[in-house]
Every structure is written in structure tokens, then in C-alpha cells.
């Protein structure tokens, strides 16, 4: 990789990091190209040079990277649980569920971009983005059939939103995950 390409990649990463930081602190409505340009110390034309679609493209990129991160966290948790439990499905599903919910807690703005903001991703389509497909596949490998995987994913998403809104106690999460794991094992 050339020095120029390295600088471009670093600048692109700085733009995405600034967007995540801004969104985490004040929500996506506070993320503007002007504010991002100020945060990284470059002009708006430089920002648009990296992301011609502006904020929408930045949000989409953050969301797709979020799916990569979620997949990796779930994969790591599943592998560790498999080693510890000898492949017990209940333990694998519980590990997956905790990894998913922990990700949503740790990255609320990324999670919002992934599931609540219009990012132009093709969910539930055969030729969708590989980041989406790979995140789904890691869950499906544990759960099995696609519809059951969708139901589990929906349950985890609902738990995440209800906990964040204070409608469910986070302290009771382990009990809910144990029940969910028993139902899907």
C-alpha cells in the first residue's frame, strides 16, 4: 500500500470515527458534514471526496461496519461457549444472545444506524449486502432454520429496544436470555 493510500484510508477511518462519536453523544441528527469536517480538520469537499453521498453514505458505511463487528462478536462468543460447553445448543444461543445485546448496549448509535435509520440496505433479500448476510449466517449456524433465526433475531432486537427504553430491567437480562435459549435449543 502506498503512503497516499494509507493517508486516504486513515482519513476515511477518521471521518467514520468522528461520525460514530458524534452520533453516540448527540444522535444521528447531530451528525452533519460541516460538523464532521470541523472534527477531522478537513474541508467539506475533502469529506465528500471520501463519501460522495455525504451523511447518508457515512451512516450506511457505519451501519455495514456495525454488522461486521456484530458478526465477529457473536462468532467469538459462540466459539468460546462451544469450547466451554462442548457444543451445548442452549449455551451457544445464550452466548450469542449476550454478545448481541452487549453490542447493542455498547454501540447505540451504530445499532440505530443498522436497524432504525434509512441506509438503503437490502434486508431479507437473496442478493443483499455480504455484511448483512454474514451477520445473519452466524446466528443461523446456531439456530438452524431461517425463520427461527429471524424470530430469535427479532426477539433480541426487541429486548434491546425495550431495555434501552426502560421497559425491561437490564438486571433481568440473564433470566430472559436463559428462557429464550431454552426455547430455541
> According to the model, what pLDDT value does residue 5 have?
86
> According to the model, what pLDDT value does residue 4 have?
86
Q: Please check whether residue 24 is in contact with residue 109, taking contact to mean a CB–CB distance below 8 angstroms.
A: yes
For the cut 90, the answer to whether the pLDDT of residue 154 exceeds it is yes
> According to the model, what pLDDT value does residue 85 have?
84
Sign of the dihedral through C-alpha 93, 95, 97, 103: negative
Look at 123 and 10; give whichever has higher pLDDT: 10
In percent, how much of the chain has pLDDT > 90? 75
Q: CA separation (Å) from 3 to 6, 9, 10, 13, 41?
A: 5, 10, 10, 15, 20
Integer Cα distance of 12 and 5 in angstroms: 10
Residue indicated by cell numbers 462468532: 75
Residue 127: pLDDT band (50, 70, 90) is: confident
Q: Which domains does the chain have, with CATH numbers?
A: 1-52 (1.10.10), 56-184 (1.10.357.10)
Mean pLDDT of the chain: 92
Residue 126: pLDDT band (50, 70, 90) is: confident
> According to the model, what pLDDT value does residue 49 have?
92
Look at 87 and 162; give whichever has higher pLDDT: 162
H runs (alpha helix) in the chain: 3-26, 33-40, 44-50, 54-85, 89-106, 108-115, 130-143, 146-164, 173-184
Integer Cα distance of 143 and 155 in angstroms: 13
In percent, how much of the chain has pLDDT > 70? 100
Residue indicated by cell numbers 429464550: 180
Residue 150: pLDDT band (50, 70, 90) is: very high
Claim: this prediction has a pTM higher than 0.95:
no
> According to the model, what pLDDT value does residue 2 have?
87
Residue 122: pLDDT band (50, 70, 90) is: confident
Candidates 53, 21, 19; CA nearest to 37 is 19
Q: Please check whether residue 63 is in contact with residue 150, taking contact to mean a CB–CB distance below 8 angstroms.
A: no
Tens of pLDDT, residues 18-70: 999 999 888 899 899 999 999 889 899 989 999 999 999 999 999 999 999 99
Amino acid at each position: 500500500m502506498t503512503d497516499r493510500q494509507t493517508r486516504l484510508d486513515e482519513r476515511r477511518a477518521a471521518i467514520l470515527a468522528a461520525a460514530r462519536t458524534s452520533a453516540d453523544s448527540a444522535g444521528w441528527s447531530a451528525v452533519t458534514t460541516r460538523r464532521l469536517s470541523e472534527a477531522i480538520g478537513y474541508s467539506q469537499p475533502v469529506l465528500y471526496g471520501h463519501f460522495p453521498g455525504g451523511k447518508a453514505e457515512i451512516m450506511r458505511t457505519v451501519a455495514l461496519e456495525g454488522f461486521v463487528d456484530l458478526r465477529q462478536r457473536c462468532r467469538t462468543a459462540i466459539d468460546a461457549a462451544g469450547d466451554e460447553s462442548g457444543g451445548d445448543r442452549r449455551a451457544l444461543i445464550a452466548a450469542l444472545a449476550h454478545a448481541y445485546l452487549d453490542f447493542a448496549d455498547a454501540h447505540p448509535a451504530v445499532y440505530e444506524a443498522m436497524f432504525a435509520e434509512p441506509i438503503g440496505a437490502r434486508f431479507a433479500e437473496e442478493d443483499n449486502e455480504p455484511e448483512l448476510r454474514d451477520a445473519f449466517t452466524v446466528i443461523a449456524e446456531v439456530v438452524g432454520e431461517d425463520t427461527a433465526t429471524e424470530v430469535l433475531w427479532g426477539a433480541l432486537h426487541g429486548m434491546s429496544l425495550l431495555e434501552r427504553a426502560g421497559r425491561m430491567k437490564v438486571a433481568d437480562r440473564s433470566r430472559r436470555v436463559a428462557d429464550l435459549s431454552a426455547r430455541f435449543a
